[in-house]
Amino acid sequence: MAFSLPKLPKLSGRTLVVLAAVGALAVGAVAANASKKQEAAAPKPASDQAAPLTANKASDQTSLEAAAAAEAKLGQCRSARLIPVNKTWGIPMPSVNGSNSTDCNLKYGDNPHRGSDRTGDPETSIQVLQRNLNSCYGTKLAIDGIYGKNTRGVVTMVQRKHKIIADGIYGPKTRSAMNWRLYSTSTRSWSKTCSSPL
């Protein structure tokens, strides 16, 4: 015994369009209702849960500002040294006079000395920074040993690029974040590229 389907009436194009539109509306209504039920079932964040995130951001910003203020209080870089990175390469960078420490700063107004203290060689320190900025960041600073508005502007740009406090003061955070061109004393040559090996 064979099973046969009843014949369906032929529908006009207009009727098919109306049926498709009604079907689409029904599917949309079901989806919207399901979405509302999911939103109602989802736990809502309490207002006290959002507060710690805001407090953490504010705390982080305060910490960064405090670190920048501490760096600004450091003494002026009054020398330049080749700081070893490995057995072959080193980085010429501003340093503390008579020390291998690079925990010092350079800032706007160093011309080349800061204040009445005339010890050390801050001019060379500033020139080392200016040369490195030109080599690694494509700037065209005059290598004049004066920390003027152009040098401050480039340092600020570098700080923004590396997402640190952009105060225009070269200090340990900027030193560690920025790219440097390396020098080899054995081959007396410069690296072809710049990197941040600190």
- In terms of pTM, does the model score above 0.75? no
Give the pLDDT confidence score for residue 56 in this predicted structure.
Answer: 67
Cβ atoms of residues 130 and 99 within 8 Å: no
**Model confidence pLDDT, tens digit, residues 85-139:** 999 999 999 999 999 899 999 999 999 999 898 999 999 999 999 999 999 999 9
Higher local confidence (pLDDT), 119 or 6: 119
| pLDDT more than 70, % of the chain | 69
Choice between 93 and 40, residue whose per-residue pLDDT is larger: 93
More confident of the two residues 59 and 52? 59
What was the pLDDT predicted at 72? 80
The CATH code of the domain at 62-191 is 1.10.101.10
pLDDT at 138: 96
Backbone angles phi, psi at 104, to 5 degrees: -150, 180
The gap between the terminal CA atoms of the chain, to the nearest Å, is 87
What is the model's pLDDT at position 12?
58
Task: Return the pLDDT at 66.
Answer: 78
For 148, phi then psi, to 5°, come to -95, -165
Q: What is the pLDDT of residue 47?
A: 47
Instruction: Determine the pLDDT at residue 175.
Output: 96
Which strands form 79-84's sheet, in the order they lie side by side?
A: 79-84, 89-95, 180-184, 189-195
Predicted local confidence at residue 5, as pLDDT: 46
Q: What is the pLDDT of residue 48?
A: 47
- Which residues is 80 bridged to in the sheet? 94
Residue 43 scores a pLDDT above 60: no
**Averaged pLDDT score across all residues of the chain:** 81
Question: What was the pLDDT predicted at 55?
Answer: 60
Task: Say what the pLDDT of residue 71 is.
Answer: 80
